[in-house]
């Protein structure tokens, strides 16, 4: 049976937060913010009321820029490459609506692409080129190499960890193949940042604050190399300024003028907490939590785990027994046992899921005892 490494991380994470009302195993939906993050957000909002929203924003400028630098560094890019956005979905919409590849442009992607990303791409008239995957939904690199060599799409879009399955895609290897083929790679790290390594060599990377980084809701980011932003057209760009927008970093044209600045400041603090914990140690504890979850739950009451047992993520998804009802089970776990998990509908990945699954996603403070409680509640 798996034991958990780095118990100090669990203890620190727990001590930094309000006590949960029950058993929170739902960080792939939304993590619990630390008291320091909550206080930072409240303090910034109070500062806005005291000195004015724009003056408070200017006062936070240095911190925000430091945050852009650190966040971008986590995905292998630089401060000038990163724009704060409102969510991962807002980022992908901005990326493709401002890129505007010609309708009919072919985009490589996996069969299990996140439904809302797929909707954005098809709405833009782009044509999916499905890259082959194995039974777990993991990219077949040899097949991808053939596609990129023989009939390359104009770009590739990859979701590094899906919302419906805790499998890590071979992003670094795919980035190398794309680079060799001269095909830009866009990476969705909404479920990956703060969870698995995202510094992989992609050209555009976007994600969100509230999941594994445990920042505030309503904040996300879009980071891209200058070679990508050179293909984008901002709605309000340098040509509208009498100084030609001198001194504005290239990604900043894609930040909303008005925004939840307090949330952005909170995200910067959350990223600081992640770095202080040590991203490598965080990953080790999260993957051990994933393994411990799968060991306990696979086969329990007829529920079966979709991920390989040792997959290095903390996301576990369970297929129901023949007579199982995922939504009703999730409601029962919450109402009767105070356990928070998610029911994932098939719509998240039509081409990959055969039905709904129950998703369990503990963060650093989860204990083996809590996983045992879930196992007992799943099959009373």
Give the distance, in angstroms, between the CA of residue 265 and the centroid of all CA atoms in the same chain.
Answer: 19
27 binds ligand PLP (CB under 6 A): no
- C-alpha Rg value of the chain to the nearest Å: 21
Q: How far is the CB of 190 from ligand PLP (least distance, A)?
A: 4
Q: Which is nearer to ligand PLP, 191 or 293 (CB)?
A: 191
Q: Which is nearer to ligand PLP, 48 or 188 (CB)?
A: 188
In this structure, the number of other CB atoms found within 10 A of the CB of residue 333 comes to: 23
Q: Which is nearer to ligand PLP, 2 or 89 (CB)?
A: 89
Contact stretch for ligand PLP (CB under 6 A) within 5-13, 87-95, 271-279, 308-316: 87-95
Distance from C-alpha of 227 to C-alpha of 16, rounded to nearest angstrom: 40
The DSSP code for 34 is P
Subset of 106-125 contacting ligand PLP (CB under 6 A): 114, 116
220 binds ligand PLP (CB under 6 A): yes
Subset of 298-327 contacting ligand PLP (CB under 6 A): none
- Strand pairing category for 155-159 and 204-208: unpaired
For residue 52, give every residue at least 6 positions away whose Cβ sits within 8 Å of its Cβ, in sequence order, or none: none
Q: How far is the CB of 93 from ligand PLP (least distance, A)?
A: 9
Q: How far is the CB of 193 from ligand PLP (least distance, A)?
A: 11
Q: How far is the CB of 371 from ligand PLP (least distance, A)?
A: 22
Q: How far is the CB of 313 from ligand PLP (least distance, A)?
A: 12
Give the distance, in angstroms, between the CA of residue 95 and the centroid of all CA atoms in the same chain.
Answer: 16
Subset of 141-200 contacting ligand PLP (CB under 6 A): 159, 162-163, 188, 190-191
In terms of Cβ atoms closer than 10 Å to its own Cβ (0-12, 13-18, 19+), residue 66 is: middle
In terms of Cβ atoms closer than 10 Å to its own Cβ (0-12, 13-18, 19+), residue 180 is: exposed
Q: How far is the CB of 251 from ligand PLP (least distance, A)?
A: 18
> Which of 27, 89, 287, 329 touches ligand PLP by CB under 6 A?
89
Q: Which is nearer to ligand PLP, 227 or 256 (CB)?
A: 256
Count residues contacting ligand PLP (CB under 6 A)? 13
Phi-psi region of 251 (alpha: psi -120 to 50; beta: other; left: phi over 0): alpha
Task: Scan for tokens 């504890």, then name that residue.
Answer: 285
In terms of Cβ atoms closer than 10 Å to its own Cβ (0-12, 13-18, 19+), residue 279 is: middle
**Cα angle 70-228-191, degrees, rounded to a multiple of 5:** 50
Subset of 40-79 contacting ligand PLP (CB under 6 A): none
Q: How far is the CB of 7 from ligand PLP (least distance, A)?
A: 28
Q: How far is the CB of 58 from ligand PLP (least distance, A)?
A: 27
Subset of 239-278 contacting ligand PLP (CB under 6 A): none
> Which of 88, 147, 262, 306 touches ligand PLP by CB under 6 A?
88
Q: Which helix (H) or strand (E) holds 282?
A: helix 279-297
Distance from C-alpha of 144 to C-alpha of 107, rounded to nearest angstrom: 12
Q: How far is the CB of 131 from ligand PLP (least distance, A)?
A: 16
Contact stretch for ligand PLP (CB under 6 A) within 82-90, 336-344, 353-361, 363-371: 82-90
208 binds ligand PLP (CB under 6 A): yes
Signed CA dihedral, 277, 280, 281, 284: sign only? positive
Q: Which residues make up the interface to ligand PLP (CB under 6 A)? A: 87-89, 114, 116, 159, 162-163, 188, 190-191, 208, 220
């Amino acid at each position: 049976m798996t034991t958990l490494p780095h118990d100090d991380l669990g203890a620190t994470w727990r001590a930094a937060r309000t006590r949960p009302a029950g058993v929170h195993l739902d960080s792939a939906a939304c993590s619990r913010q630390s008291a320091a993050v909550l206080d930072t957000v409240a303090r910034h909002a109070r500062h806005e009321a005291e000195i004015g929203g724009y003056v408070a924003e200017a006062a936070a400028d240095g911190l925000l820029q430091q945050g852009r630098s650190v966040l971008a560094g986590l995905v292998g890019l630089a401060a000038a490459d990163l724009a704060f956005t409102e969510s991962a979905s807002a980022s992908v919409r901005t990326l493709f609506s401002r890129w505007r590849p010609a309708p009919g442009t072919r985009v490589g992607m996996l069969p299990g692409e996140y439904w809302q990303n797929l909707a954005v791409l098809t709405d833009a008239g782009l044509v999916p080129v499905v890259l082959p995957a194995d039974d777990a939904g993991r990219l077949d690199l040899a097949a991808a190499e053939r596609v990129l060599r023989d009939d390359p799409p104009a770009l590739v879009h990859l979701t590094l960890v899906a919302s419906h399955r805790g499998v890590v895609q071979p992003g670094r290897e795919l980035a190398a193949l794309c680079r060799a083929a001269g095909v830009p790679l866009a990476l969705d790290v909404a479920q990956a940042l703060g969870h698995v390594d995202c510094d992989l060599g992609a050209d555009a990377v976007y994600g969100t604050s509230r999941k594994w980084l445990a920042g505030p809701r309503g904040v996300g980011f879009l980071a891209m190399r200058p070679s990508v932003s050179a293909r984008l057209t901002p709605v309000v760009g340098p040509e509208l300024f009498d100084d030609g927008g001198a001194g504005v970093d290239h990604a900043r044209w894609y930040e909303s003028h008005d925004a939840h600045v307090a949330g952005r400041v909170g995200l910067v603090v959350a990223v600081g907490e992640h770095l202080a914990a040590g991203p490598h140690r965080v990953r080790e504890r999260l993957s051990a939590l994933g393994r411990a979850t799968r060991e306990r739950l696979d086969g329990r009451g007829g529920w079966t785990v979709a991920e390989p047992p040792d997959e290095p993520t903390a996301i576990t998804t369970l297929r129901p027994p023949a007579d199982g009802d995922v939504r009703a089970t999730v409601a029962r776990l919450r109402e009767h046992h105070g356990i928070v998990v998610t029911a994932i509908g098939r719509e998240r990945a039509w081409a990959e899921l055969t039905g709904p699954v129950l998703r369990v996603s503990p963060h650093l403070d989860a204990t083996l005892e809590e996983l045992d409680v879930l196992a007992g509640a799943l099959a009373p």
